[in-house]
Structure 1
Amino acid sequence: MTRTYAPETGTVPWSPLVAACLGAFMLLVDVTIVMVALPGITTDLGMSFTGGQWLLDGYALALAALLLAAGSFADHTGRRKVYLAALAVFALASLACGLAPNGGLLLAARVLQGAAAAAMMATTLALISATYHGRQRGIAFGVWGGVNGAAAAVAPVLGGLLTEHLHWRAIFLVNLPLSLVAAWLTLRGVEESRLPGGARLDRAGMVTFTVAAGALTYGLIEAGQHGWAAGQTLVPLAVAAVALAAFLVAETRGANPMLDLRLFAGRSFSGIMAGAALLMPAAFACLAFTSIWLQQDLRLGPVMAGLALSPMAASSLVVSVASARLLPRLSPRGAVGGGLLLIGAGAFLQGLLGAHSAWTALVPGLVVTGVGVGLAVPALSSAAMAYAPPQRAGMAAGTVNTVRQLGYALGIAGLGILYQDGPEQGMAAYAALNDVYRASAITGIVAGLLVLVAVTPRGRPAAPRA
């Protein structure tokens, strides 16, 4: 039986909420915390540029590929049980990352970390939804959303502090005590919840989607190293195409698809999904290469590199909090579309670097991008649910998170081609980084226009759901 809390009981019971928020904080911090530590990791372990890309992409890809499947599995197996198991695996994978003697083992542990993160992301919101009701549920969702924003703001600076004052291995080992606290609070204050019924898992969809996403990302990364005509590039891209076709067939014909493709028949829903997928490469994927430029070319330490990126996180956090009060009537279409246009403008401003530019040249563009992120990201889940049938609200929310993380993984791979090709063609690092920013700017502007054109001005209002 699930423990619930009525609105009249007073303050929100903290134990279940903190348990869920700790897991969400850890998994989201680990998406980007590696960026600042990347130069130190690749130097210590003798990893190539491609290997460094995979440290970012392996985690994001596992998170994206398994998120929908993990949510479906948890709904039927038990969300508390899956969350506890995911915390244990995440902690063990973090320990393996922190002790990894070489790049291969570190990458394998990062992928395992991402798989556990998928189960954590799929269950944290569901646990809150099942535990709290009425006014307290709204408060709990607000706290959970604030923690999500704080994770993005804290990650670069936290990564810099741990790397510079301890070691890059500390960015992984810090997850161990946090995981133990989250597990203890879950055991102490969270009761089991699951959906009624015994529908089978969509194993065909899980396998084909994972293969398609992994092969596509691998092919893009190999294209940067070997070129588009090389077998190392063409084979995985062909595998991705076949797996994607198989996934579409499986979801169309399966009795219990993890992704109901009929959702995409709605132009507005498809527009929101496109915006979600393109937001990540436009706003976040370029930061990985910015961190490399800051540390390798400007010779900034990890802490200063993290602080140099913080204007974007700070402005996004301020805007996301303020917009709920100052712009309560802003439609999902306006928030997501307008936010993406600002992200594109911010990327364009960042792409004006010269030979003698300091890190401060990035600040105006980072602030503008952060304003766009603060508008668009909080609106994505509610927008996806607003343009989906009520019975598919949970699936819509899971889908938007999936395409966001997949967009990040593909963005790292695609922009990495531009950044890697620059030095090979005799370009200075700042010029190659300008190309990355221009590509991000075009992506953001196209995505914003796409959302504004495809999405209808009004959708069905929807509250957050698991």
Structure 2
Amino acid sequence: MAAHAKTTVEPPPSAEAKDVSGGNPWLTLLAVCLGVIMVMLDGTVMGIAAPVMGAELKATLSDMQWVTNGYLLALAVFLITAGKLGDIYGHKRVFLVGVAGFAISSAAIALSGSVLMLIIFRVLQGLFGALLQPAALALLRSAFPKDKLNQAMGAWGAIIGLSSAAGPILGGLLVENVSWQSVFYINIPVGIIALVMGIMIIKDRRSSTLSRIDWPGVVVLSGMMFSLVWTIIKAPEWGWTDAKTLIFGAAFVLLAAAFIWWQSKAKQPLVPLSLFKNPSISIGTVLMMMVAFAMFGAMFFLGFFFQGVHGLSPLEAGLRMLPMSAGMIVASPLAAMAIGKLGPKITMAVGLLITAVAMFLMSQLSMDASFVESGLPFLILAFGLSPVFVGATEIIVGNAPMELAGAAGGIQQSAMQVGGALGTAILGAVMAGTISDKLSGYLGPVAAGMEQQAPGAVAGLEKAAAFGTVPPELAQKIPDPGVLQVITDAVHRAFMDGMHTAFTVSTIVAVITAGLALFVRSGRKVEGEPVHIG
């Protein structure tokens, strides 16, 4: 099939400043943030609610993994397609559908009486969340003139930081004092307010040059993203060299090649490859992946550190992470101001170096770290991550033509999801390897006694050590308190070694990524530059 490309010209900045959506841009920001707050709250409270959910529904560990993975897969697979739907049918319409669907599916989760229903509704929640997020970014792109976009992204980051800060505390209070269902019911009033404000305030804009969905592209992209994320999720369990891992990895490579080929031929491609001819969009996408790799991958272990090693409650663990989330409320607007004055190159590079400092400090945390000792790196991390998230989002969405703002938002969100999943899987493997190397040495003579009583006991303990705990069933079989204390100390020390190694790798990733940030430019296209969109 021959390629039939349409070419549009992005209007100059002065023209676009007059050609925004027509509504109040700051009220639009508030309306879209209310919708995204539901997603942020759900993400932060899920980890707190999961143990109680599993116990009440008599779910296995595998069941609860599917509760999380089903949501992640649906979100990652559908994000780019959802962004394209907004470009064609209108971002306001897609955003409102996402808000309504997310709220309704949250209520359905709370009403679930079985693990199967819980998984099904979590998948639906992921699909509606995918509709919501790229549309929100595209609505901001159309509501704000380009010279004000970085300020909008700074305010966006502050509001998201506020919801992230409130999530663990609110979730802990609700789970401990009401029920796990209440953490999902809370999305209903938030969704209703977001719907009402969205209908009244948001002014829509859709592309006049795009008219249809590239359905073959949707199918191939969905298969490609599923293969990638599924490989990342399952590789730590299967093994990176296992046949199943290699098969899904090969499927991703083949589908990626097929997708690129088809996008070069399609009349209205799902992801116009010309977007990536802009170096800033390409580099911004890699930056988003790398910073999500370092952040989400390393932060994944801190919940286990606080609850497993420290023995804190979910609410207390949430309070330990408060300095980072609260810090982003202040850091995000400051990052936007810095990007406006200094540009994205220096601001993002400095932010990544600050992130590296925070990760290094976390690699030095002691087993009995106080609130201040753990809070300082968290606070520093907020001022390191904010310039990167604000800058990378502005670069990806701001460098894209208005007609492709939804697709660009989908790319940005997909990069974050894939980067976070990669970080969790790869750093998890690094941590598991460190624990395997260290645990037997810390156990000393106890290891031989464990193996004599139950062959494979040390290997089983290694898996539990990745969570910073001793399995309750093992603890019950050890009558001698002294031996049990040796095992517990060994698990905690091995866990700390693994966590320190993971944070060290994240430090290196942040430093390398800081150099990459020097190659981007701000989200402003050259006046009159042609953009091929289909």
Which digits, 9 at most, give the CA deviation of each residue in 1:293-319, with x for residues without a partner?
212332211211111111112222212
Residue 373 of structure 1 aligns with an amino acid whose one-letter code is L
1:260-316 CA-to-partner distances (Å, cap 9, x unmatched) read: 223334444322221111111211333232112212332211211111111112222
Partner secondary structure for residue 201 of structure 1: coil
Q: 1:265 to 1:195 in 2, by over 3 A?
A: closer
Give 2:179's match in structure 1, choosing from 167, 174, 194: 167
Asked if the contact 2:355/2:385 (under 8 Å) is kept, the reply is yes
Following superposition, the deviation at residue 327 of structure 1 comes to 6.2
Match for residue 381 of structure 1 among 381, 390, 393: 393
Match of 1:433 in 2: 499
Distance in 1 between residues matched to 2:408 and 2:200, nearest whole Å: 31
Cα-to-partner distance string for 1:388-421 (whole Å, 9 max, x where unaligned): 5676566444422321222123323333334455
One-letter amino acid of the structure 2 residue matched with residue 377 of structure 1: F
The number of residue pairs the alignment matches comes to 453
Equivalent pair of 2:45/2:183 in contact (CA under 8 Å): yes
Calculate percent identity across the aligned residue pairs.
Answer: 29
So what's the TM-score if we normalise by structure 1?
A: 0.84
Change (3 A) 1:389 1:76: closer
Q: Report the CA distance shift for 1:355/1:131 in structure 2 as closer, same or farther (over 3 A).
A: closer
Structure 1 position 156, deviation (Å): 2.7
Q: Is the 8 A contact 1:318 1:374 kept in 2?
A: no
Q: Distance in 2 between matches of 1:372 and 1:408?
A: 17
Matched with 2:511 is 445
Q: In structure 2, what is the Cα distance between the partners aligned to 1:391 and 1:188?
A: 23
Q: Which residue of 1 aligns with 2:121?
A: 109
* RMSD, aligned CA: 3.5
2:384 is the counterpart of 1:410: no
The code of the aligned residue for 1:451 comes to A
Q: Is the radius of gyration larger for structure 1 or structure 2?
A: 2
1:62 is the counterpart of 2:125: no
Runs of 5+ in structure 1 lacking a partner? 1-5
Which residue matches 1:224? 236
Report deviation, 1:30.
2.5
Shift of 1:27: 2.0
Residues 432 and 110 (structure 1), Cα distance of their counterparts in 2 relative to 1, 3 Å cut: farther
Question: Matches of residues 311-322 of structure 1 in structure 2 within 5 Å?
Answer: 311-322=323-334
Farther off after superposition, 350-359 or 274-283: 350-359
Paired with 2:345 and 2:125, the residues of 1 have a C-alpha distance of 34
Structure 1 distance, partners of 2:255, 2:86, is 25
Per the alignment, in what secondary structure is the counterpart of residue 179 of structure 2? Answer: coil
Q: 1:328 to 1:136 in 2, by over 3 A?
A: closer
Cα deviation for residue 23 of structure 1 reads 0.6
Q: Report what 1:3 is aligned to.
A: none
1:174 to partner: Cα distance? 1.0
Residues 243-252 or 53-62, more deviating: 53-62
AA matched with 2:185: L
2: distance between equivalents of 1:364 and 1:250? 49
Instruction: Tell whether the 8 Å contact from 1:263 to 1:388 is kept in structure 2 after alignment.
Output: yes
In structure 2, what is the equivalent of residue 363 of structure 1? 375
Q: 2-side partners of 1:132 and 1:265: how far apart? A: 24
- Cα contact 1:93–1:112 (8 A) shared by 2: yes
Correspondence for 1:80: 92
Structure 1 residue 243 corresponds to structure 2 residue 255: yes
Residues 349-406 of structure 1 show CA distances to partners (whole Å, capped at 9, x for unaligned) of 1122344445554223222221111221111122235655676566444422321222
Find the counterpart in structure 2 of residue 150 from structure 1: 162
Instruction: Indicate the residue corresponding to 2:488 in structure 1.
Output: none
- 1:222 and 1:232 in contact (8 A); partners too: no
Alignment partner for residue 461 of structure 1, among 515, 519, 524? 524
Query: In structure 1, how many angstroms separate the alpha carbons of the residues matched to 2:389 and 2:60?
Result: 32
Question: Closer, same or farther in 2 for the Cα pair 1:182/1:459, shift >3 Å?
Answer: closer
TM (norm. structure 2) is: 0.74
Q: Which has the higher contact order (CA 8 A, sep 6+)?
A: 2
| Kept after mapping to 1: 8 A contact 2:24/2:143 | no
CA 1:131–1:383: 2 relative to 1, 3 Å: closer
Q: Aligned ranges for residues 272-351 of structure 1 at < 5 Å?
A: 272-325=284-337, 328-351=340-363
Shift of 1:460: 5.9
In structure 1, the residue matched to 2:469 is none
8 Å CA contact 1:20–1:182 kept in 2: the answer is: yes
Question: Does residue 195 in structure 1 map to residue 207 in structure 2?
Answer: yes
Other structure's SS at 1:293 match: helix
CA distance in 1, matches of 2:297, 2:161: 17
**Which secondary structure does the structure 2 equivalent of 1:253 belong to?**
coil
Distance in structure 1 (CA, Å) of the matches to 2:67 and 2:507: 25
The AA in structure 2 aligned to 1:321 is: P
Amino acid in the other structure paired with 1:424: E
* Equivalent AA in structure 1 for residue 86 of structure 2: A
Match of 1:424 in 2: 462
1:376 & 1:29 partners in 2: Cα distance?
22
Q: Distance in 1 between the 2:506 and 2:179 partners?
A: 31
Question: Where do 5+ consecutive residues of structure 2 fail to align?
Answer: 1-17, 436-460, 466-490, 527-534
Aligned-partner residue type, residue 511 of structure 2: I
Per mean C-alpha deviation after superposition, the further-off stretch among 132-141 and 40-49 is 132-141
Worse-superposed segment, 106-115 or 39-48? 39-48
Change (3 A) 1:378 1:51: farther
What is the alpha-carbon distance in structure 1 between the residues aligned to residue 56 and residue 79 of structure 2?
Answer: 32
Q: Distance in 1 between matches of 2:151 and 2:349?
A: 27
Partner residue, 2:472: none
User: Does the alignment pair 1:185 with 2:197?
Assistant: yes
Structure 1 residues 288-297 or 52-61, which shifts more? 52-61
